[in-house]
Amino acid sequence: MSTAVAGSDRSWVVGIDIGGTFTDVVAFDPGEGAVRAAKAPTTPGNLVEGVIAAVGALELDLEAVAKIVHGSTTATNALLEGTYAPTGFLGTRGFSDEFDIQRMVRRWGETEWSSIYDLHQEKPPPFVPRHRRREVDERVVYPGTVETPLDEEELRARVAELVADGAEALAVCFIWSPANPEHERRAKELVAAAHPELPVSISTEVAPVVREYERMVTTAVNASLMPVMGDYLAAVGRELGERGFAGRLLMMQSHGGVAGPEELVGRPILTLRGGPVGGAVAAAELARSLGRPNVVSFDVGGTSCDTAVVVDYRVPIAEQTEVDYHPIQVATADLLCIGAGGGSIAALDAGGMLAVGPRSTGSTPGPACYARGGEEPTLTDANVVLGRVGGRNLSAGGVTIEAERAEAVIGAFAGEIGRDTAAAAAGIVRVAVATMADSIRLQTIDRGHDPRDFSLLAYGGAGPLHATLVAEACAIPEVIVPLAPGAFSSLGMLVAGQGSYAQAAFLIPLEETTAAEVEGRLAALAAEAERVQAGAELTVRRFAAMRYQLQEWELRVPLPDRIDGEAGLADVAARFHAAHRERYGFAREDQPIELVALFAEAATPAPRLDLGRPEAGGEDPAAAVVERRPVGVGEDGEAEQVPVYERSLLRAGNVLAGPCVIEELTATTYLQPGWSARVDPSGVLLASADGAAR
């Protein structure tokens, strides 16, 4: 147990990242610059257990912790696994069929350029099936007039039917509620009175934006996640509290900002990508410090491979995302996730072809070599057979590697496919690498980015293990491996977790408002954003979404710190014209501008995270060699004796030639033949194919 700190001296900040296999935590003391990392197996079914175990492994007095920033996959997992609540929908009479009719008449969108010539494209099934939808008499018409009052009797009767039919959450979305939310608010009150336990989500509290179908679906998805998120937040708050934590608990949101449990219990959808976004934000920060504007953030854990393409140091943010082709009207980091990780299971598919993933052993039972009952061959087992993963220091998270178990399952699989054990292991790795490379190509080449202009920033427990192989397959010339790659995502929570956002619709022609009114609204939003950050030293940035009158789509433009009078508004207009010209190639100075929405972002300066720079040394890394062992380096797993380095013994300036293995507490890096790496003064490894490490 570490030194106890009195409650009033709370200073530590803790980041928690739940992966498919491990839950990683990292703690940082901004005063001392000290960092600790720990991990524990993720506990599906009850994620809180894993969180508490990992936090416990930090050996830190929770009374000394000021803030915990938490990225959770609770929402995503519930959607992917179908464990969200059966959800009823209540809408305006005449419109609930929009769940079937939908907007995306074909699977087409800014994120998905699928074929326009596919006769057999399956339309996504409605998120709420017909028998769980009800309509009531009520109607608001533009610009907000009540035309038909809400039929409260009918509402009670319909909700009772839905509850009787098994609905465990309720979504309410009425036509034109963004213009007049009164009926939705009243519906919420009535439902709360009749069914106090039933979680209810109304559209104007989730996505108060015009376009009813997208709002309906977003609200329904949100409602379906409320029970599972409510349980989770209550449990994690209680468990941490019982262990002495009295600081602020914040959850990571999809766009990289944070919010407290009280904000999220009713809006769990804001956390949809709150897990993987942490790593991407940390990747962008590291990229900046290394002067590499373009990196592919490559996070491979036990279950999945998450990639994001960072261009000009920015994580791309999309205003809308999709889950199974259902539109989600929430700003989200643009990430691609595929089911390929260390725990991915190797199997022969129906056509007799070797496939790795997407089925995974997760953390329970885990790969065979974890000796926790896993009996299927996994990617990690293949790497153990090849000697790329050793037994020496993989005890992180309480797991020890038993190589003979990996030999047994891979050997059995090799028998099935008629190869020797090493060749089967090499084949499994090759197939997994090809799958990961395809995913990166989708985000680079298919979007017109030349991968040769990028570096691959590899982290997660299994990222650095496959990084040089994947980089070569996608023609990416450089691989960057940060220190403590296994904890990198949770480190991202510390860097990324410092911003919070507030937004509100404000639809008005710019010339019909005043600087004072805009300032007033922005001040309210800034206060809302600041409240989340409880007392820290904050910088507030403000934005407005604007468009030319008659346009349908808006553009988000940064605002000055202060808008004063007519001249201030004229400056806002000028900023919009300039942004429009920059983005779309032209501006229309003579056209009236409409304000659509205002945003405020409150952020603390990102803490400088120094994980301890290595001492300077010469090129020769011999002093860091801890063993030499046979490692399968050939196409078919042919073994060579290769050096194994201990990362903490490496010195800045050391140059490592592949093939070799670099081991550290949270991950193993494998450099394939033909690659070499240099230890940067910052501690990161910079590897490249031609030996000319940059």
Partner 1 sequence: MSGSDEAIELVLLHNRLTSICREMGVAMMRTAYSPVFNEGFDFICALFDREGEMIAQAEYNPSMLGAANFSVGWMVEELGAEAFAPGDVWIHNDPYRGGCHLPEHLLLKGIFHEGELFGFAATIGHVAEIGGKAVGALAGDVTEVYQEGLRLPPVRLMAGGEHVMDVWKIMMTNHRTPKLTWGDLHAMLGSLRIGEQRVEALLAARGVAATRRDVAELSDRSERWMRREIAAIPDGEYAFEDVMDDDGISAEPRRLRVNVAVRGEELIADFTGTDPQTAGPINATFAVTASGTYNAIFQLTDREVPRNAGCYRPIRVIAPPGTLVNVLHPGAEIGGNSETHCRIVGIVIGALAAALPERVAAGDGATGCNFLFGGVHPETGEFYANYHFENVGWGGARHRDGNDSQCVPLAISRNTPIEVFETRYPFVTVGFRLQPDSGGAGRHRGGLGTERILEVRAPEVTISSLFDRTATGSYGLEGGLPGGCASIEVRRRGEERFRPFTEAFGTVSPAKFSNVTVHAGDQIRIVSSGGGGFGDPRERPLEEVRRDVRDRVLSPQRAAAEYGVEVDELSAGVLSGSPD
Which residues lie near partner 1 (CB under 8 A)? 93-98, 100-106, 108, 110, 113-123, 129-131, 133-135, 139, 141-142, 147, 161, 165, 175-176, 178, 210-214, 445-448, 450, 475, 548, 550-553, 555, 580, 583-586, 588, 591
CB closer to partner 1 out of 104 and 412:
104
Q: How many residues does the chain have?
A: 694
Per-residue burial over 220-254, b if 16 or more Cβ lie within 10 Å, else e, is bbbbbbbbbbbebbebbeeebeeeebebbbbbbbb
* Least distance in angstroms from the C-beta of 207 to partner 1: 13
Supply φ then ψ for residue 628, to 5 degrees. -125, 135
Which residues share a beta bridge with 132? none
* Least distance in angstroms from the C-beta of 331 to partner 1: 16
| Identity of residue 125 | P
* Least distance in angstroms from the C-beta of 433 to partner 1: 17
DSSP secondary structure of 36-92: EEEEEE--TT-HHHHHHHHHHHT---GGGEEEEEEE--HHHHHHHHT-SPPEEEEEE
CB closer to partner 1 out of 147 and 561:
147
* Contacting residues for 594 by C-beta, under 8 A, at least 6 apart: 507, 508, 509, 510, 546, 547, 548, 549, 551
Report d(CA 78, CA 564) in Å as an integer.
47
CB closer to partner 1 out of 27 and 546:
546
* Least distance in angstroms from the C-beta of 185 to partner 1: 18
CB closer to partner 1 out of 6 and 350:
350
Report d(CA 38, CA 58) in Å as an integer.
6
Report d(CA 495, CA 114) in Å as an integer.
35
CB closer to partner 1 out of 179 and 265:
179
* Least distance in angstroms from the C-beta of 114 to partner 1: 8
* Least distance in angstroms from the C-beta of 172 to partner 1: 15
CB closer to partner 1 out of 170 and 258:
170
* Least distance in angstroms from the C-beta of 515 to partner 1: 26
* Least distance in angstroms from the C-beta of 92 to partner 1: 9
Q: Which of 674, 691, 679, 669 is nearest to 458 (CA)?
A: 669
* Separation in Å, CA 659 to CA 12, 34, 321: 40, 33, 41
CB closer to partner 1 out of 93 and 186:
93
* Least distance in angstroms from the C-beta of 41 to partner 1: 41
* Least distance in angstroms from the C-beta of 139 to partner 1: 8
Burial class, 633, CB count within 10 angstroms (exposed 0-12 / middle 13-18 / buried 19+): buried
CB closer to partner 1 out of 352 and 586:
586
CB closer to partner 1 out of 176 and 245:
176
* Least distance in angstroms from the C-beta of 529 to partner 1: 27
Which two three-digit tokens encode residue 531? 């409240």
* Separation in Å, CA 180 to CA 140, 147, 298, 450: 7, 11, 44, 48
* Least distance in angstroms from the C-beta of 94 to partner 1: 3
CB closer to partner 1 out of 173 and 409:
173
Measure the N-to-C terminal CA separation of the chain; round to a whole number of Å: 42
- Using an 8 Å Cβ cutoff, are 693 and 481 in contact? no
Report d(CA 153, CA 93) in Å as an integer.
14
Report d(CA 224, CA 126) in Å as an integer.
14
Report d(CA 293, CA 478) in Å as an integer.
13
Which run of H or E residues covers position 597? strand 593-603
Which residues share a beta bridge with 169? 87
* Least distance in angstroms from the C-beta of 178 to partner 1: 8
CB closer to partner 1 out of 179 and 412:
179
Omega before residue 316 within 30° of 0, cis: no
* Least distance in angstroms from the C-beta of 29 to partner 1: 45
Q: Kind of pairing, strands 295-300 and 455-459?
A: parallel
Q: Where are the beta strands (DSSP E) in 372-513?
A: 455-459, 478-481, 499-509
Angle at 593 between CA 592 and CA 594, to 5 degrees: 125
* Least distance in angstroms from the C-beta of 158 to partner 1: 9
CB closer to partner 1 out of 175 and 667:
175
Which run of H or E residues covers position 541? strand 539-548
CB closer to partner 1 out of 555 and 626:
555
CB closer to partner 1 out of 134 and 466:
134
* Separation in Å, CA 554 to CA 176, 519, 539: 19, 20, 25
CB closer to partner 1 out of 130 and 238:
130
* Contacting residues for 286 by C-beta, under 8 A, at least 6 apart: 295, 457, 480, 482, 684
Which two three-digit tokens encode residue 179? 């213009």
C-alpha Rg value of the chain to the nearest Å? 26
Which run of H or E residues covers position 336? strand 336-338
CB closer to partner 1 out of 117 and 535:
117
Tokens 């104007």, residue?
204
* Least distance in angstroms from the C-beta of 446 to partner 1: 6
* Least distance in angstroms from the C-beta of 300 to partner 1: 24
CB closer to partner 1 out of 131 and 694:
131
